[in-house]
Structure 1
């Protein structure tokens, strides 16, 4: 009661926080006339002035009012847009390293320019991170005009650019790109063998556009770089045939977690079928020798039971293409992990691609927590405020709208079954269409989009369908969703990135209608005509009630529903939103309380009849909160496990950086050699033991295996005073002598290069193997919960032991390689041949479900330049994208899909191979 009174009198804590920033906005506004009086040259010179002030000891907070006023004036002159006061507040929130929640259509892209400019003045680099390549390119070009006018440099990171373009983009004052590209570049940088090959600078400040999509929706899936393993196509096909012949009573499916468990009867039956097919190594299904078969069996079962065609994936060009559950887009090139994608390929009878092994990985949580300062903006963050604070220590500030929201949000309409619901939806759309009111329909899957499309065809309603099959046209379809009488069906509106304006979008209409018309009076006249048409049409749409947003069912997350609703009512426009639900909706069927079902069914709801009530809406919200809580626990679980690996990753990456930065690593190598000798002697001659207990024969064998050495151990043993320490010293002396003789035969600079190369390559090899072991450990450690043990604690303990073993193995392996290395002068490379370069893939993979949410674009997924000096030597031969006039690799047998040998990072067919095709 007291809390409510306090809130009513003083306002909420968020309102008080926003009010506190009004003083700073007043300071900015007070400078407006002074800044307006500056010429273009003087306005541009403000940047140098601010840099001098920072150099003299001022802070960013102290120059903020004048810097923001400068950006506002530059925006008016360059872009023709003036920042509102509420946008200034949003900019302050971003600068403070917080999340700015602003409604759709409030100009978040323009808000970001304020904090971006202010922080870029320092010259340490600002990363503006978006959810897709289209937005990264658009914003870099659009807002880049403003930054360049003020004397700052702008770069953009997208797929299919080479290493030199990437490095230049990262060295710019402001760098735009997608979350996946930034994350993969970090991992790739930490796989390189020379500091000069790395593209990223030290982290400084990042602004995340659609921050909830990046830090929440995609945060359950780590970024993974992987390399191919052996082909097991026959195994997938054999197991798929067995799975398709299973009795449903043999297993239990959990739709919530998309997991399947075998019944006792099922275990016996499947054991018999696998034995009959000759797929079991031993008779017992769960013997360790059968682990691989059981793993693939489980994946095949999930593929056949849990993953549905046209909902989770589509088949296109004889390939399985994953559908993004959040945006409804096709995710070309992305693959599920742990054999799941291969299981789906076997299920659908398409070509089975080989699995891949993890080479490097990181979660978005641990990647973005490396930024000293992080902020974000979105239209929907408040529902996840607790998670933003718990994981990232980011506060959420809700920024008021420039104009009051005029949209009407109606109660949900509830129907008995899907057919009744879709008939009612089609009827409601037809009624709105007849009065000219534009309708945007949100569906949760391609299947539902196409079903609704059939209903609308029956009603005779002309409409556009926007889903994964229409990816290329999506921006143009969304842009015109606010036109009179338009009906647009969209599979999930998250991350579309295109503003829906009532009456139509001017920019897209000009592009669609006047794309080929040359500049001149005729084009100017046509543009003026389109502007007039849009203005008139907007008035008609407003009279019809504005954009009507219709949801065909509730999403698991309230945020996604709010994103859909937020498409209507931008900048004070009128609008309407309504959701239609039924008992067969996945959310209610899987997560809804039983009482909800029983009460609805007992209410004698007639076919085609609808009800709506606040109680029902509350029950739906409760179900959504339940799912959100479960999803949060999944993301938290991912972080807990990755935190364990992150500590180890930091050690490895720091060690690699030190090795790359060192002129020589001879001291590191010497320490490794001595530690190895110490371990060998201690293993054979334990401290406190007697000489007769020493394992001398074993020591002889190990010295020969590891050091290639055969010291006179038997002769040494005849001495009465022999101690393990003396044996160790003598072995060291012999090893040093042998190594000195080897080094003396080689040029010193060449030997330093050899040592660094061996050290880095061995480190990378064992780190890769360690990651594979940790992946396997994660798969099985959950079973220890049955023994009343905490899986995460077990994982920490086991992972620590594995890491210690990794370091021991690394020391021994490096020592062995250098001791047994036969050093020769390098032979000249035969004409027309190049060393084979490894091929690897990028993925953004859920460790629990195998879902991959990354974009494996043609150029970004292949990184030939990592593995040698080719990238450094190719700059003169190849321009961006391989635009040179000749192909030095013509005549060589290079696969079109292999990395181009020039080191550009592009596939051969998109680089020098394209040159051959043109020639």
Structure 2
């Protein structure tokens, strides 16, 4: 009766609070059977345990009795290898992932181990698995950490990272389970698509993607396509233009839109620039200066040091804002990158062109089966279903969460907010209670640290400038007397244990109330707020959280501008604290609007890239045929039979076939690069057609499809011309001598595909702003 009542309560709670979660009752019923086997399995030797797992190997999903057997063996393997006995809730997570769901497990509940056991189970059933994480550090750490478990279960494991060799990559991808970041796996795929020799390819066909921090990877990372660019020459940049723009005054010489994504010169600004450049006409038809001014202005007005990028080792390095880390090998499109480098007076980097790209959504769609885990999936359950056809399974915590989450503290100004924040830290620190301060960007984290130092308080700062030390910093954030100031905590992947990494002062800290989390503002997503909160209160420990906000916060100004002091029903206190409940509701509203904007960016990215992804599949199928067959050699023999025979007689069949393949692939890749550039140009201007009452996406398709249909015929035609002119040797085709040069290095572009950033949208914004102004004047 009690069990039945529990199930009814569970279903009622899911109906009321978690409409996106799937039913797990079937798997809960298996947990007692798994426990019943625990003592018998414990008597097995290591060799016997591995043999028992081997008997479960098959090319199909687990039946219920096999699932019970596997989970009992997996639990024992974890106990022996890591001295950690998986909780029932962890095994429930394992079964949820094996069933193809995204499981939501709270911070500190052991997702890493659950993911490893699920990945091993999939491998046992004949599947090659990629465990996809948000960064290289976690991929490397988790593969090494879980390796003893995999070995006991008889499953091979590897990892790929940015700095590993091609030999290492090839071996890792051959493993039954391979760990890697979403970007590294995506770029390996793109690099393989550019290979001209089958021996240069490293990836293999994989059946399953098991995604750690699934919401971050599938939603946050999905807004920015993975774009592979190739080097050309050192980028041209105009240091003089940077100096001119640096002297312009905001509001007088230039303005920017409320979204902070566009800036433009005023008439006064245009006059000032023309004068500074020697009296030229900025708007003359043959002038290239206007584009240079616009790029320099964007770099000056919209991109902030220590927010959008940092300068380290005399280089501009981008910050991945959703991760709070350096975006390695990532940069803006060339003109903007060069403008920022000129602004910061650092060395110029190479220019280049887009060679290929893939969205996270298209990357994940390559896997026949997808599952995953995260601490905050329910909030994006609709998106996971819409974009990936994934359902969320909510796993209750092993111990109830007793964390105390305070209401928002809203202040009139940024200054009042930070003053109150510092006072709160000082007062709490006097008790010895550990504090984790979550900031929105690098600049804020360093500003808070400086203010604390002025009050003789020492803190540890974790941001994009020192992300290499993050594991040690995070591990000690729960120590007695500790103050940790950090940018984005999502995906840090290290538990904060009360009393420090060894929990030496656990009880002492618990008596003080546990870890106290303070947010300096709200992130653009409630999920990121929840992930920060979730750092406190792990495994039933006490903890607390509070978020400070101000009416000058960028998010509130941008998405809830209607909130003004004169609209408050209750005047603020002397310290600037606002108690008016209506105003606090607008803070929540602003965050929801921000979430809506980000969702539309995701939808828009997919809407316009879906056609390109389909075209890419067609081109890559043809490319693979050229790469792995003698199709190119046959084309050579057909269209230049005399030269083909002559070269075969001189060098042999294999070098000539290799040369034919290199020539045809070069022209196919060249045409594909040109097509991507053409599609990008159409994408940038197609919204202007909305003003003519045409549907932009239809016009985009109408323009791009005919051009695509000519890629293969034109590539083959150009290759035929090259057969007669390119020098061939025993090593293949001498492409560079013929001016057919491939890029020598690659990197990634930071691309924002914002549907609200089009010319048409900007025009409409200005019209709306003008209407607002007229109404206000009336």
CA contact (8 A) 1:664 1:752 kept: no
- Give the C-alpha shift of residue 70 in structure 1: 1.0
In the alignment, structure 1 residue 563 sits paired with structure 2 residue 468: no
Query: Which residue of 1 is the match for residue 335 of structure 2?
Result: 339
Q: How many Å separate the matches in 2 of 1:366 and 1:277?
A: 50
Query: Which residue of 1 is the match for residue 686 of structure 2?
Result: 781
Change (3 A) 1:228 1:575: same
Q: How many Å separate the matches in 1 of 2:701 and 2:36?
A: 57
Match of 1:574 among 507, 529, 542: 542
- Give the C-alpha shift of residue 112 in structure 1: 0.7
- Once the two structures are superposed, residues 36-77 of structure 1 have per-residue CA deviations (whole angstroms, 9 ceiling, x without a partner) of 2322211010232112xx26x775666322112111111111
Task: Could you tell me which runs of 5 or more consecutive residues in structure 2 were left unpaired when the two chains were aligned.
Answer: 1-8, 735-739, 756-778
Change (3 A) 1:606 1:750: closer
CA contact (8 A) 1:99 1:394 kept: yes
Query: Which residue of 2 is the match for residue 895 of structure 1?
Result: none
Q: How many Å separate the matches in 1 of 2:188 and 2:616?
A: 15
- Give the C-alpha shift of residue 626 in structure 1: 0.5
Query: Which residue of 2 is the match for residue 147 of structure 1?
Result: 150
Q: How many Å separate the matches in 2 of 1:483 and 1:174?
A: 35
Listed as ranges, the matches of 1:467-486 within 5 Å are 467-486=463-482
- Once the two structures are superposed, residues 175-225 of structure 1 have per-residue CA deviations (whole angstroms, 9 ceiling, x without a partner) of 111111101110111111222321111121111111122112211111122
CA contact (8 A) 2:660 2:733 kept: no
Secondary structure of the 2:438 match is strand
Q: How many Å separate the matches in 1 of 2:128 and 2:705?
A: 36
* Greater alpha carbon shift after TM alignment, 29-38 vs 793-802: 29-38
- Give the C-alpha shift of residue 327 in structure 1: 3.2
Query: Which residue of 1 is the match for residue 519 of structure 2?
Result: 551
Query: Which residue of 2 is the match for residue 99 of structure 1?
Result: 102
In the alignment, structure 1 residue 605 sits paired with structure 2 residue 572: yes
Match of 1:212 among 204, 210, 215: 215
Secondary structure of the 2:577 match is coil
Change (3 A) 1:604 1:193: same
Query: Which residue of 2 is the match for residue 765 of structure 1?
Result: 670
Query: Which residue of 2 is the match for residue 814 of structure 1?
Result: 719
- Give the C-alpha shift of residue 821 in structure 1: 5.2
Q: How many Å separate the matches in 1 of 2:173 and 2:80?
A: 27
Q: How many Å separate the matches in 2 of 1:96 and 1:596?
A: 50
CA contact (8 A) 1:762 1:814 kept: yes
Change (3 A) 1:296 1:792: farther
In the alignment, structure 1 residue 196 sits paired with structure 2 residue 164: no
Change (3 A) 1:647 1:60: farther
Secondary structure of the 2:403 match is strand
In the alignment, structure 1 residue 110 sits paired with structure 2 residue 106: no
Q: How many Å separate the matches in 1 of 2:328 and 2:11?
A: 53
CA contact (8 A) 2:20 2:378 kept: no
- Give the C-alpha shift of residue 842 in structure 1: 2.2
Query: Which residue of 1 is the match for residue 27 of structure 2?
Result: 21
Change (3 A) 1:598 1:28: farther
Secondary structure of the 2:545 match is strand
Match of 1:500 among 485, 496, 509: 496
Query: Which residue of 1 is the match for residue 239 of structure 2?
Result: 237
In the alignment, structure 1 residue 85 sits paired with structure 2 residue 85: no
Query: Which residue of 2 is the match for residue 539 of structure 1?
Result: 507
CA contact (8 A) 1:554 1:579 kept: yes
CA contact (8 A) 1:641 1:792 kept: yes
Q: How many Å separate the matches in 1 of 2:523 and 2:392?
A: 23
Q: How many Å separate the matches in 2 of 1:308 and 1:9?
A: 43
Q: How many Å separate the matches in 1 of 2:172 and 2:556?
A: 47
CA contact (8 A) 2:160 2:178 kept: yes
Secondary structure of the 1:406 match is coil
In the alignment, structure 1 residue 643 sits paired with structure 2 residue 610: yes
In the alignment, structure 1 residue 444 sits paired with structure 2 residue 440: yes
Secondary structure of the 1:594 match is coil
Match of 1:629 among 588, 596, 601: 596
Q: How many Å separate the matches in 2 of 1:503 and 1:241?
A: 52
Change (3 A) 1:271 1:651: farther
- Give the C-alpha shift of residue 561 in structure 1: 0.7
- Give the C-alpha shift of residue 369 in structure 1: 1.0
Q: How many Å separate the matches in 2 of 1:154 and 1:165?
A: 12
Match of 1:652 among 608, 619, 638: 619
In the alignment, structure 1 residue 46 sits paired with structure 2 residue 52: yes
The TM-score normalised by the length of structure 2 is 0.88
Secondary structure of the 2:222 match is coil
Change (3 A) 1:355 1:406: same
The TM-score normalised by the length of structure 1 is 0.75
Match of 1:590 among 555, 558, 569: 558
Listed as ranges, the matches of 1:733-748 within 5 Å are 747-748=652-653
Change (3 A) 1:36 1:307: same
Secondary structure of the 1:608 match is coil
Listed as ranges, the matches of 1:158-307 within 5 Å are 158-234=161-237, 236-246=238-248, 248-249=251-252, 251-256=254-259, 258-261=261-264, 265=267, 269=271, 272=274, 276=278, 283-284=284-285, 293-307=289-303
Query: Which residue of 2 is the match for residue 710 of structure 1?
Result: none
- Once the two structures are superposed, residues 790-816 of structure 1 have per-residue CA deviations (whole angstroms, 9 ceiling, x without a partner) of 322222221112212323321210221
Query: Which residue of 1 is the match for residue 774 of structure 2?
Result: none
- Give the C-alpha shift of residue 667 in structure 1: 4.7
Q: How many Å separate the matches in 2 of 1:196 and 1:61?
A: 42
Query: Which residue of 2 is the match for residue 416 of structure 1?
Result: 412
- Once the two structures are superposed, residues 797-853 of structure 1 have per-residue CA deviations (whole angstroms, 9 ceiling, x without a partner) of 211122123233212102212245566667999xxxxx9984222215224489xxx
Q: How many Å separate the matches in 2 of 1:332 and 1:589?
A: 32
CA contact (8 A) 2:317 2:326 kept: yes
Q: How many Å separate the matches in 2 of 1:473 and 1:168?
A: 28
- Give the C-alpha shift of residue 308 in structure 1: 1.5
* Greater alpha carbon shift after TM alignment, 624-633 vs 429-438: 429-438
Change (3 A) 1:207 1:564: same
In the alignment, structure 1 residue 129 sits paired with structure 2 residue 125: no
In the alignment, structure 1 residue 388 sits paired with structure 2 residue 384: yes
Change (3 A) 1:547 1:746: closer
Listed as ranges, the matches of 1:751-900 within 5 Å are 751-820=656-725, 838-848=743-753
Q: How many Å separate the matches in 2 of 1:398 and 1:473?
A: 32
CA contact (8 A) 1:443 1:552 kept: yes
Secondary structure of the 2:348 match is coil
Change (3 A) 1:668 1:741: closer
* Greater alpha carbon shift after TM alignment, 775-784 vs 584-593: 775-784
Q: How many Å separate the matches in 1 of 2:269 and 2:691?
A: 19
CA contact (8 A) 1:242 1:273 kept: no
Secondary structure of the 1:21 match is helix
Secondary structure of the 1:320 match is strand
- Give the C-alpha shift of residue 270 in structure 1: 7.8
- Give the C-alpha shift of residue 593 in structure 1: 4.1
Query: Which residue of 2 is the match for residue 367 of structure 1?
Result: 363
Query: Which residue of 2 is the match for residue 405 of structure 1?
Result: 401
Match of 1:354 among 332, 350, 357: 350
Q: How many Å separate the matches in 1 of 2:443 and 2:273?
A: 36
- Give the C-alpha shift of residue 454 in structure 1: 3.3
- Give the C-alpha shift of residue 271 in structure 1: 8.7
* Greater alpha carbon shift after TM alignment, 793-802 vs 839-848: 839-848
Secondary structure of the 2:305 match is coil
CA contact (8 A) 2:664 2:716 kept: no
Query: Which residue of 2 is the match for residue 31 of structure 1?
Result: 37
Change (3 A) 1:20 1:150: closer
